[in-house]
Amino acid sequence: MQLIKPRKTNGGYTLIELLVVLVIVAALAAIAWPRFILAIERSRAVATVATMRKLQEALDDQILIGLNERHLDYMGGNELGRQLLLTNIDCKLDHEPPADPRCYTDKFSYRVWCSELGCFISVIRGSWANDDYGLLLRKVLTDWNNYPIGVWDKECMAHSDLGYKICQSLGSSGWKLSDERYKELIKNLNM
């Protein structure tokens, strides 16, 4: 009795097998990509919060020394804010003061200012026209708008779905969520 030997193949894959693998890889990438983007944005937000903390400490030092008239500017273009930004952050001013009181990095724009009411640090992720979220630190020094006096208040304002997720993740660090998407929707519906 003679056994039939199976034919040797060249060991390659068929087109169907390659297409199945490609579809599986594409499906996994589609699931993982949004999570990857969110993880990157969360790390950027955490780094920005650390930068804001440095600015907060520098402002606290200035408050202890005493704020005088030259430090106060309600619109935020004062020299104190610009000096604190330029000495604590690697950023650039696009325009000469007072036209643009913001300091720009790759992904964020920062602004620091003090007024009669208190001191403020704001950060926006993106541009004014299309931002994902904004962070605001405020230390109110007088009785204003029911904010606690002498305490740094933290607020994260979400302007997109990504911003909402970032602000939610900062909630465990004491940041209050302000969902600006909802407010804008209501405003547009009332128009």
pLDDT at 25: 95
Q: CA-CA distance, 44 to 132, in Å (whole number)?
A: 13
Model pTM score = 0.73
pLDDT (0 to 100) of residue 85: 80
The pLDDT value recorded for residue 19 is: 94
Cis status, amide bond into 97, omega within 30 of 0: no
- Choose among 118, 82, 120, 86: nearest CA to 101: 82
Residues of the chain with pLDDT under 70: 1-2, 6-10, 67-78, 94-101, 127-130, 182-191
Whole-number Cα distances in Å, 146 to 37, 78, 130, 140, 153 = 37, 25, 30, 10, 11
- CA quadruple 62, 67, 73, 74: dihedral positive or negative? positive
- Please report the pLDDT score of residue 187 as a whole number: 66
Determine the pLDDT at residue 31. 92
Cα separation, 46 vs 51, in Å, equals 9
- Please tell me the predicted confidence (pLDDT) of residue 98: 53
Name residues whose C-beta falls within 8 Å of residue 4's C-beta, 6 or more positions apart in sequence. Answer: none
The pLDDT of residue 30: 92
